[in-house]
Structure 1
């Protein structure tokens, strides 16, 4: 008999990521529209509640349906989405620091941030190493092709770096703050370098092998997550750096943000074109649609951070426009998810359904 937790897969956590980033982006926007703060609080509460429920369901899945869970972990497609749980933890953690005090008070929100950030960072660093290791040693290399989903286990350390910037100001100046700053930049470098190598492989595969299967097309937006999150980190981290190096790090963040932003425009345009192409070929709803949310949300936070560092009204305006698009995408995907998962949660489409199609494209 099928139970509600039998088919709980790690890509479900993408819904938490996509919801949490809506709150975080709203809390950091350079505008103060009426009701925006309240909206951010409500969305964060929804994300935090959903995270708690999903973590319990995922634990029950591993406890009661270990065979299924191990099968997902061994699947070369599904294993990539083990990067989603750490990012869900980190996204909700950031919300705890940004809007959590309005709900649970400063002390509780601070503790919640530290706990979730620590767990998310540890899980993300583990995933960033273990998943590539499994790809190298345990998967069938005869059918391996580079897919956008390969970025999922790579991005978590970058999310830790950008959200770690929220913790730095609360640590007294000295060696402890400097150590955390160094750790954040180290995670920035890890994620950026491995991520760019991965994107090069994905780009080469797309150019030489064609676009992904129709149902996998939304995953091309994942590349935008690394772009936006890295710009966010590069421009937030210098604010808590020691006086002697803060100026240089701030300049690095601005230059990096402008250069990577140009690349981001290319990635955004290409992803949009591939998505339109997929809709024309019959793209239907699945959990991959959550790829339309979190990556765009990171571009909002990146544009906000870069615009603030540079003092650019134009870039701040871009952040607002992107946020409007983000809310539209999130609303559409959230409603469709609820409609599809309500009566039969176990029937909600998962990325595993595209495994055969993905493997057949060389």
Structure 2
């Protein structure tokens, strides 16, 4: 092997040979972190079905949830492998160099945690309790570390390094800072499996701290994003679906506070139960208002020829967080209105997932050919 060949990234040394050249290896570098949104969207279909009021315990719903969890897990493994090949083959491609790509670094940790959480729910009959718990613990830990790193790094670079103007802001800026909120939401499911006392209390308060990290960061970014919409004109057509990303921190935070109340140690029960309602109900109400606004923008975009892009996956996971938020509020209150909202939102989620899958499958051959 020549010195020039040795200087190439590992996989490119092999793909230089015409016999071993493969189009998937060549195209692997095009799979950016935004592709993890497809894993997130698939996993939330499973997780939403598992908690759906009046449905989640049905036999057919369990089979449905298991199928989607398995699909999400397979997608996570396949995409992680493809991304690894891509990074080796295109070693000079660094997502942090481009702010429009860097913001999507929030997607991989959320995908890890969504699949991990599903292992304790929909995936447990397939894996068994012990393996399901171990998988969730590993993926939650990896996702939490990754998510906090992504949130801090991208925020720092937006403030100190990237040359961006208000007109460049988009709802995609929320992605890295929502990742700690996902940690806060899904971490409480591990609390009952920890030793009582210090371990459980520490885990709960760590999740509350991550709730605060994400919430304050979101509240810091939202005025900039709305100012961009109000003063710089509408988003480009390809970014219109990203308006649904605003639902992510809203629905996820509502789910988080209901999870705190459901899984927190008994000594915190009264405070957390009251906070779940005082915070969750008004924020869920605003989520429904924003859903109507983003939905109207989507209808307008479709009428004006909005093209398909991977941004269409923004119609899935954020809506799914509203499903779990409504289900959590129903569990706290027993009000049928929240059950109806959860079922209606889940129907919207499944419809959006089906459209996104079909359109992604149709565009994939062109994407692989470059």
Q: Name the TM-score class by shorter chain.
A: over 0.9
Q: Does 1:333 align with 2:356?
A: yes
CA distance in 2 between partners of 1:246 and 1:346 (Å): 55
Q: Does 1:255 align with 2:255?
A: no
Match of 1:44 among 44, 53, 69: 69
SS of structure 2 residue aligned to 1:140: coil
User: What's the CA shift for 1:108?
Assistant: 0.9
Q: Which residue of 1 aligns with 2:251?
A: 228
| Bigger radius of gyration among the two | 2
CA distance in 2 between partners of 1:345 and 1:31 (Å): 42
Deviates more, 1:133-142 or 1:199-208: 133-142
CA distance in 1 between partners of 2:238 and 2:327 (Å): 32
User: What's the CA shift for 1:144?
Assistant: 5.9
CA distance in 2 between partners of 1:112 and 1:346 (Å): 35
Q: Does 1:60 align with 2:89?
A: no
Report 1 or 2 for greater relative contact order, CA contacts < 8 Å, sequence distance ≥ 6: 1
Matches within 5 A, 1:225-304: 225-304=248-327
| TM-score where L is the length of structure 1 | 0.92
Dislocated runs of 4+, deviation >6 Å: none
Provide the aligned length of Structure 1 versus Structure 2: 345
Deviates more, 1:297-306 or 1:232-241: 232-241
Match of 1:172 among 195, 203, 221: 195
CA distance in 2 between partners of 1:257 and 1:337 (Å): 34
* 5+ long unaligned stretches in structure 1: 348-362
Match of 2:220 among 187, 197, 202: 197
User: What's the CA shift for 1:137?
Assistant: 2.3
User: What's the CA shift for 1:141?
Assistant: 3.4
Q: Does 1:154 align with 2:177?
A: yes
User: What's the CA shift for 1:215?
Assistant: 0.8
* 5+ long unaligned stretches in structure 2: 1-20
Match of 2:103 among 80, 91, 95: 80
Q: Deviations over 1:233-270 (max 9, x none)?
A: 00111223233321111110111111101211221111
Cα distance change on mapping 1:20 and 1:79 into 2, 3 Å: same
Q: Does 1:24 align with 2:50?
A: no
CA distance in 2 between partners of 1:143 and 1:261 (Å): 28
CA contact (8 A) 1:211 1:274 kept: no
| TM-score where L is the length of structure 2 | 0.90
User: What's the CA shift for 1:171?
Assistant: 1.3
